[in-house]
Structure 1
Amino acid sequence: MSEITYVRGDATVPWGKGPRLIVHVCNDIGGWGRGFVLALSRRWPEPEKAYRRWHRERAANDFGLGAVQFVRVEPHLWVANLIGQRGIRTGSQGAPVRYEAIAEGLGAVAEQATALGASVHMPRIGCGLAGGTWERVEPLVVERVAARGIPVTVYDHDR
């Protein structure tokens, strides 16, 4: 069983060699413009373009909570757009984060990482604008990804 490795750095520049998969959480309303997605868009245009097209064409695809879209950005590097938050504002249902959707999406991430022979890299997903807590997300990452022997690195960005 792998464990999570915590490092200081930029999750858009994942450590290591070989296939790598960067995971982040997106909302279910097609919004892209704040938080970690800005760092992704500065580095590669493809994840944003793919997410917006996925949302726009949602009537004919699987776009929704728990779904994951894998976007290749370099020969051995993919970005996983994981739909893990409902909307973008805290309301009567609490923070936008949806832990069940993150758990479901992480299952798909583990399947893809296994198929690619990839390691998984992420910021503390669901804990920024989505309003979640790492105490709730970390066990999901361990259970759904690391417990399958997939190396996981979590990046804490220097501000």
Structure 2
Amino acid sequence: MAAALFRVVRGDATAPQAKGPKVIAHICNDLGGWGKGFVLAVSRRWPEPEREYRRWHRERAANDFGLGAVQLVRVRPDAWVANMVGQHGIKAGGKGPPIRYEAVETCLAALTGHAVELGASVHMPRIGCGLAGGTWDRIQPLIDRTLIAGGVATTVYDVR
């Protein structure tokens, strides 16, 4: 049953191949930076996710912005973008690449709850595996333990 909930397809995660409510999920950094990687495709399609992420970061003293936090931004009546803070900084350093797997898992657990509440499927690129420096063999088990275990249909989009 779980296998039926997860699929990998060729395509663009900003143009989900599904009917009904959907959430497009991606990883953000904890510095408030938005300007490279998948976020460029998001911004080309909708201005709201970037605007809300930047506001969320700017007002972080008064909100939950930080590693492991998720911000849902409605972009259409049946679609949301999930800004998930799962990356510390933007460059590799003494603690390795910017990806923070524990924060990604926290984000995905919260996203599972949101998706169930909305009755939505989730769509994403191979989150955390680009600029964040993560590896898919560590990300996919997090998806399995959260979204798939929670019964959320999840599609990963490959551009290659």
1:60 partner letter: A
TM-score (norm 2): 0.97
**Correspondences of 1:4-153 after superposition (within 5 Å):** 4-153=6-155
Aligned residues: 158
* SS of residue matched to 1:59: helix
* Contact 1:2/1:148, CA 8 A, preserved across alignment: no
5+ residue gaps, structure 2, are none
Amino acid at match of 1:2: A
Q: For residues 65-123 of structure 1, what are the alpha-carbon distances to aligned partners after superposition, in whole Å with 9 as ceiling and x for unaligned?
A: 00000000000000000000000000001000000000000011000000000001000
* 1:93 match: secondary structure: coil
Q: Percent identity among equivalent residues?
A: 65
TM-score, structure 1 normalization: 0.98
AA in 1 matched with 2:38:
F
**SS state of the match for residue 81, structure 1?**
strand
Hey, which bits of structure 1, 4+ residues long, moved more than 2 A?
Answer: none
**Any gaps of 5 or more consecutive residues in structure 1?**
none
Aligned-residue CA RMSD (Å): 0.7
Aligned residue type for 1:27: N
